[in-house]
Amino acid sequence: MQINELNIDFMGKRRMAIILSGSMILISLIMLAVRGLSFGIDFTGGTLIEVAYEQPADLNDVRTRLSNGGFGDAQTLHFGTTRDVLVRIAPQEGVDQAALSTKVVSVLSEGGLKVDVRRVEFVGPQVGDELAEEGAMAMLIALFGILIYVTFRFEYRFSLGAVAALVHDVIITLGFFALTQIEFDLTVLAALLAVIGYSLNDTIVVFDRIRENFRKIRKGTAKEIMNVSINQTLSRTLMTSGTTLLVLIALATLGGEVINAFALALIVGIVVGTYSSIYVAGTTALVLGVSKQDLMPQAKPAAEGAEGADQP
């Protein structure tokens, strides 16, 4: 049997989906409230130092040297190759940044090791706060724009369903980062915005088929037509998500620590977004009472039809 011949009763299981989604959102909100996000230097401020060794660097040795030198809270990771190391240091009040970077390099150079400084960047706490506020604002603007677009493109019940699915995806992805305490930086924020676009695209494909079938299938309830539409688009949804996940899994496993959080955010977002485009978006529209009449083309006025008949 072909996948487009399936007749899975997705909408019949919508109550179970609502319970599952509600549970995941509740757990995510609890994690965000209790543990919070582990913000990176982009949001908290601090100093970023990139250094290069002549030989592959052992991160455990680098961390030990920094801890012994008075930088116990420093974060280290490879950047590009095993010879390149990024050192992130939390903001320190009253300390000159140039002197700080010089001290870090001297600590890493102890024992005759040759260490070259590639770059030094300083992010102030005020800049970090502004980035956090502007990032949150960018996400809200994106959701508001989507609400307006889908309202004009389809119908307001569908727009609320699309936004509900996107909020669902974002909260659960944030909950994952709160649970795992993986560092949340600007690349993860960019991944969240990408998840919004990806999930919306998938939802629009399903909604477009639902609208088409509402106008084409004369018999059947809204629930039955939604089931038919989701089954018809299931192959496209699974193929698109599956091929994208293959690339992201490769990035997460082979791309190194710098891109790991970005890839993980997209993996979680796409998995949850695929689920929400099938269940959350359509279920919300169905709960709000969408019907076939809402998407039927408006009939032309009788007078307009009569004028056309009089013309030769």
| Alpha-carbon gap, residue 236 to 228, rounded angstroms | 14
Is residue 256 scored above 90 in pLDDT? no
Residue 57 has pLDDT above 70, yes or no: yes
| pLDDT reading at 1 higher than 50 | no
DSSP tag of 13: G
pLDDT band at 2 (very low <50, low <70, confident <90, very high): very low
**Average pLDDT rounded to a whole number, residues 119-132:** 69
Contact predicate 89/73, CB 8 Å: yes
Neighbouring C-alpha atoms within 13 Å toward the C-beta of 61: 10
What is the CB neighbour count within 10 angstroms for residue 112? 5
**Over residues 278-285, mean pLDDT:** 84
Q: How confident is the model at residue 176 (pLDDT cuts 50, 70, 90)?
A: very high
What average pLDDT does this structure show over 63-92? 77
Longest Cα–Cα distance of the chain, Å, equals 99
pTM: 0.77
- pLDDT score at 124: 66
**Residue 237 contacts residue 304 (beta carbons within 8 Å):** no
What percent of the chain is predicted at pLDDT more than 90? Answer: 14
> Domain spans of the chain?
3-38+127-295, 46-123
Q: If you count them, how many residues does the chain have?
A: 312
Please give the pLDDT value at position 27: 95
147 pLDDT above the threshold of 70: yes
Helices (H), the chain: 14-34, 41-44, 59-68, 97-108, 125-153, 156-180, 186-216, 222-254, 257-278, 280-287, 292-295, 302-310
CA 44/CA 155 separation, integer angstroms = 41
- Three-state secondary structure call for residue 2: coil
pLDDT of 3 above 50? no
**Residue of 271, 263, 264, 281 whose CA lies nearest to 166:** 281
pLDDT reported for residue 292: 63
What one-character DSSP code corresponds to residue 72?
T
Residue 71, pLDDT score: 75
- Write down the CATH number for the domain with range 3-38+127-295: 1.20.1640.10
pLDDT given for residue 4 in this prediction: 45
The topology (CATH level 3) of 46-123 is: Alpha-Beta Plaits (3.30.70)
What does the block give as tokens for 108? 């890493």
- Tell me which amino acid residue 264 is: L
